[in-house]
Amino acid sequence: MQKTGVVNKLVMLVPEIHREKVGFIFGTLFLLLIGLWNLSAPPPWWDEGWTLSVARNLTERGLYGRLLDGQPAPPGLEASFVVTGPVSIIMRIFGVGLWQGRIFGVCCTVTAIILIWWLTDRLYNRPIAIGAVAAALLLSMHPQLHILIQGRQVLGEAPMFAYLLAGYACLLLALQRQAAWVVPALLCFALARLAKSQAWPFLSVALVLPLVAAVFMRRWRIAAIFVVALSGSFFVAQQMSSLFWLMMGSAVVPGWMESQGLLDVTGIVLRGFNRQYALLTALTFGLPTLLGLLYGAWSFVRRPATWMDDASTGMLRLSLLALAGGWFGWYLLLSVGVPRYMFPPVFLGSIFVSAFLYVITGHFSFAYSLRQSIAAISLRSRNRQSFGALLALLLISASLPLTALAIQRFYFADDDSAARVAHFFNTQTPADTLIETYESELHFMLDQPYHYPPDQIHVELNRRGLLHEDIAIDYDPMAADPDYLVVGVFGRGNDLYKPTIQSGAFALSFTDGDYEVYERVRK
């Protein structure tokens, strides 16, 4: 009878394991499908254009750089080579196009979501892991903060998340199993550092803090692993960068269109207007993240021994908290306040948002939360449990509609006006037509030569647009003698070409979507 009972237990266990595997496979396929669906429909935008252009040039010309007036030009505003390179490889396989360029971002997005689920499951439990994914997908209220909307574009954030979380997954295995896992961990951290340069300071702090804690606790093995991960990722990132540029050789035009002062415009901004704007944005769209991070910090300070019951998971949890918390703190205190800069801590902080909601909702119990909320509203109960449950319901009920609006407007957007404008120039104008435009998404689609301002103009435009400095832009688009001028969202928002249009040098030919096409008036 005893043997039969054991066999029955084993038989019952097998279907459960299979159910988990099937659920994982279907979940992954579902994320891929919703990521790849209608991938070319959302309109491309300025940040995507530079990376897409360099990827196209690398695919078709073997040139790692841009084109300017039809001639090879140095790289500049595109994403790192660990993003641009894979995009180019995919274009070699599937052809050059917008949806092809976005495939890599979708794959990284799906990988990041899976990894954040896997890590949260190991650091907390399965319900909190599911809650972390739900928080990332359902409580990210602004389109620039939503992983599905941002991940379907050719940007550096989604690859950074994939590299970063893969590094943390390997680091956890190094802490729990074999220390050799620290090697792939530092490789992934190096890729994350290269994918998005903004990750450097926050990841460094995130690795130093548990290192200090491990030394304080005299956990030398753990301290050694963090030392290797920290120093190794720094060294490997430098070597990867040097090796890449060495391998590119003549494929890169000598020089670099560097822009001076970008850090002062976006990274360290102390102006009162920007601080107020960042605070308002954080309280409006990042409140769940803020509360989750505060809960994580409070639970660690209140009961550090509980966090460190399992030193490996405790140290990793502390590192992720430092990473998301440090990034969120920088956004509040120093950043220019653009919502996109809050995207990394919002996505990474979904781990702690889920853990926070798990506690104040009675382990995600709707009945408990509703009962406690009614008690709080009716003032029958005035304790942390009742007000915590009420807070959870208010957060969720306020966040869901805003998230739904963002998804409805931007995820389902369908605008191919950029492709139509590019098609006009590629098919309806002479081969030597020169087009002046700072709408970089058009650069990727144009077969005609085009011209645009130096990268330093981007910094000056940011000073005028983001810092509200009343400065003149020292750029004369007529110097290149263009035949057409195209003004879109970016150029119009910065009034870059307004003086040129007002001078009468161009006449409006037609408009399509957000684009105004002007033809040169030659006397």
Adjacent-strand bridge partners of 143: none
Phi/psi of residue 79, each to 5°? -70, 170
The pLDDT tens digits along the chain (523 residues) read 444 555 455 445 556 566 678 878 888 999 999 999 999 999 998 999 999 999 999 999 999 999 999 999 999 899 999 999 999 999 999 999 999 999 999 999 999 999 999 999 999 999 999 999 999 999 999 999 999 999 999 999 999 999 999 999 999 999 998 999 999 999 999 999 999 999 999 999 999 999 999 999 999 999 999 999 999 999 999 999 999 999 998 888 876 556 778 788 888 999 999 999 999 999 999 999 999 999 999 999 988 877 777 889 999 999 999 999 999 999 999 999 999 999 999 999 999 999 999 999 999 999 999 999 998 888 777 788 899 999 999 999 999 999 999 999 999 989 999 999 999 999 999 988 999 999 999 999 999 999 999 999 999 999 988 888 888 899 999 999 999 999 999 999 889 999 999 999 999 999 999 999 999 998 7
Among 77, 339, 234, 361, smallest CA distance to 68 is for 77
**Residue 417 contacts residue 513 (beta carbons within 8 Å):** yes
* Residues 374, 354 contacting (CB under 8 angstroms): no
Query: 318 with 210: CB under 8 angstroms?
Result: yes
Q: Which residues contact 212 (CB under 8 A, 6 or more apart)?
A: none
Q: Which residues contact 110 (CB under 8 A, 6 or more apart)?
A: 28, 31, 32, 35
**CA dihedral of 484, 489, 150, 412, whole degrees rounded to 10:** -100
406-413 long-range contacts, Cβ below 8 Å, gap at least 24?
406/140, 406/141, 406/142, 406/143, 406/146, 406/149, 407/146, 407/148, 407/149, 409/143, 410/42, 410/143, 410/146, 410/149, 411/42, 411/146, 411/148, 411/149, 411/152, 412/38, 412/41, 413/41, 413/42, 413/43
**Distance between CA atoms of residues 501 and 520, nearest Å:** 10
CB-CB contact of 307 with 318 (8 Å) = yes
Whole-angstrom Cα distance, residue 74 to residue 446? 18
Nearest to 103 by CA among 35, 194, 191, 34: 35
Length of the chain: 523
Closest CA to 111 of 93, 86, 88: 86
What are the helix (H) ranges across 61-198?
81-94, 98-123, 126-138, 147-151, 157-176, 182-195
194 contacts 237 by C-beta, under 8 angstroms: yes
441: nearest Cα among 49, 152, 21, 161: 49
The pLDDT value recorded for residue 17 is 60
Q: Are strands 506-512 and 515-520 parallel, antiparallel or unpaired?
A: antiparallel
Instruction: Count CB-CB contacts under 10 A for residue 508.
Output: 12
Which tokens sit at 415? 């605008």
Whole-angstrom distance, CA of residue 444 vs CA of residue 251: 18
Name the residue ranges covered by the structural domains of the chain.
1-37, 38-360, 417-520
